[in-house]
Amino acid sequence: MTRKPWVKNLLLRLRKLIIIVFILQLIYLIALRWINPPITITQLNNWFSYGLKRDYIDFDAMSPNIRLAVMASEDQLFPDHNGFDISSIKKALANNKKSKRIRGASTISQQVAKNVFLWQGRSWFRKGLEVYFTFMIELLWSKERILEMYLNVSEMGTGIFGIEAASKKYFKKSASKLTRTEAARIAACLPNPKKYKAEPASPYVSRRTSWILTQMNNLEGDEDIEKLLEVPRPTRKKAK
């Protein structure tokens, strides 16, 4: 059956729109290898509700302690995987079938994809987009850049985004001076930064901090981990 002219024209316009959107997002993806995102959807939502505290900093300005702490806490295979931890995903799926308590298996790369390009939620559509953006940042960015972005855009308290803002809020110092315990405390709050605070630490945060410190000790000496703890980065202008 022959399509009506207006239907054909609509489909043609839709195809052009899809191509334009794809090209624009690809340009943005590539640009973010060197520049920081002006704002994210999550930051924007928090801005309206709680205000926004953030201060993007370079990789070199982040203490090796916090780099190690978030890998120990969130994604110990980060240097080695291609964006997805298949083993953890299988375990999470098996757990979620039996338990009402949902268990996540997102890698640092997946969290960056969600935090930079998408919105919070659990829909299959959002998850599909997360898979796409995770694949793309692993393809186009370095591991150092992904970790740097994670530590700059992650929510680390109510209205607090990034390790520099969190460090100043909780410990009155820059992120470059965080001790191992302070870094582990901030990492301990990441699963639910609106509920938990690094200072003063709740019993849960204290227990999780001890576990993270143990994991940090276990990871030290790993060649791939060590490379991410001492990587020089070119200086970029900070986005306020």
SS3 of the chain? CCCCHHHHHHHHHHHHHHHHHHHHHHHHHHHCCCCCCCCCHHHHHHHHHHCCEECCCCHHHCCHHHHHHHHHHHCCCCCCCCCCCHHHHHHHHHHHHHCCCCCCCCCHHHHHHHHHHCCCCCCHHHHHHHHHHHHHHHHHCCHHHHHHHHHHHCEEECCEECHHHHHHHHHCCCHHHCCHHHHHHHHHCCCCCCCCCCCCCCHHHHHHHHHHHHHHHHHCCCHHHHHHHCCCCCCCCCCC
- Which pLDDT value is given to residue 121? 79
- Which pLDDT value is given to residue 217? 94
- Which pLDDT value is given to residue 232? 52
- Which pLDDT value is given to residue 27? 96
Instruction: Give 32-91 pLDDT, tens digit per residue.
Output: 999 999 999 999 988 888 888 999 999 999 999 999 999 999 999 999 999 887 777 666
Question: What CATH number was assigned to the domain covering residues 8-229?
Answer: 1.10.3810.10
* pTM score of the predicted model: 0.86
Low-confidence ranges of the chain (pLDDT < 70): 1-3, 89-105, 231-240
- Which pLDDT value is given to residue 101? 53
- Which pLDDT value is given to residue 220? 87
Would you list the domain boundaries of the chain? 8-229
- Which pLDDT value is given to residue 240? 44
